[in-house]
Amino acid sequence: MIKTLNLIFSPKADIVVIGPPNSGKSSLIAYITGGLPKIADYPFTTKSPRLWTYVHNFSRYTFMDTPPLIPEAAQEINVLFRRAKILLIVLDCTQIEKLDTIKPIIEELEEYFEKDPRRKIAYVLTKIDKIKTQPDISIPHPIFPVSIEKEEGIEELKEFLFRE
Ligand SMILES: Nc1nc2c(ncn2[C@@H]2O[C@H](COP(=O)(O)OP(=O)(O)OP(=O)(O)O)[C@@H](O)[C@H]2O)c(=O)[nH]1
Ligand SMILES: [Mg+2]
């Protein structure tokens, strides 16, 4: 008898970084880890998931950079974060009002991720250097406004990520 097994490989990362195209995921990972992912001012720069490591206080943390979150990619993202401890949702603060199409997908991914209560979800609002007043968004998770350009807000985020 021949049996067919469907094996799903989910790479192990501590922190999985997801978000819409061009929101600043790779820039954030590059800034924190010192790695050199491809960064550009157009969408779909990151074509496939990639792991980046960072050592903080003698502990090693692995970040996963992911391709842009679009409806067609939701299933792939779901597989990628199965072994993660933290899901970091990165949004461009200048594009918040354009989130309608992927909002339900994000909520679905959050629901799946939160099935394990030991896991944490946080939002990062990027590019705050581009706006005068921060958008008023209400989300039941920690929110970290940051600017890679002005090097603002990163320390607060790192404190959250690397808290034991
Ligand atoms: N002004 C400003 N620009 C930023 C900031 N963070 C990222 N960017 C710019 O935003 C653009 C997109 O950055 P990426 O890091 O490639 O975005 P991404 O989310 O990885 O993009 P995809 O891989 O295509 O999904 C680049 O031109 C970055 O320099 C920020 O805090 N402020
Ligand atoms: Mg990228």
Q: What does the pLDDT read at residue 27?
A: 98
Q: Residue 73 sits in a domain of what CATH number? A: 3.40.50.300
Is pLDDT above 80 for 164?
no
- Domain interval for residue 32: 15-161
Is residue 31 situated within a structural domain? yes
Ligand 1 pocket by C-beta < 6 Å: which residues? 19, 21-27, 39-41, 43-46, 68, 126-127, 129-130, 147-149
Confidence of residue 10 (pLDDT cuts 50, 70, 90): confident
Is residue 6 situated within a structural domain? no
pTM: 0.94
Contact 87, 18 (CB under 8 A): yes
CA atoms 15, 118, 55, 10: torsion sign: negative
The chain-wide mean pLDDT, for the chain, equals: 93
Is residue 119 situated within a structural domain? yes
Distance 50 CA to ligand 1 centre (A): 16
Q: Tens digits of per-residue pLDDT, 44-83?
A: 999 999 999 999 999 999 999 999 999 888 888 888 898 9
> To the nearest whole percent, how much of the chain has pLDDT over 70?
99
Contact 92, 22 (CB under 8 A): yes
What's the domain count of the chain?
1
The protein residue whose alpha carbon is closest to atom 7 in ligand 1 is 24
Is residue 39 situated within a structural domain? yes
The protein residue whose alpha carbon is closest to atom 30 in ligand 1 is 127
Q: Tens digits of per-residue pLDDT, 85-104?
A: 999 999 999 998 888 888 99
Is residue 3 situated within a structural domain? no
> To the nearest whole percent, how much of the chain has pLDDT over 90?
74
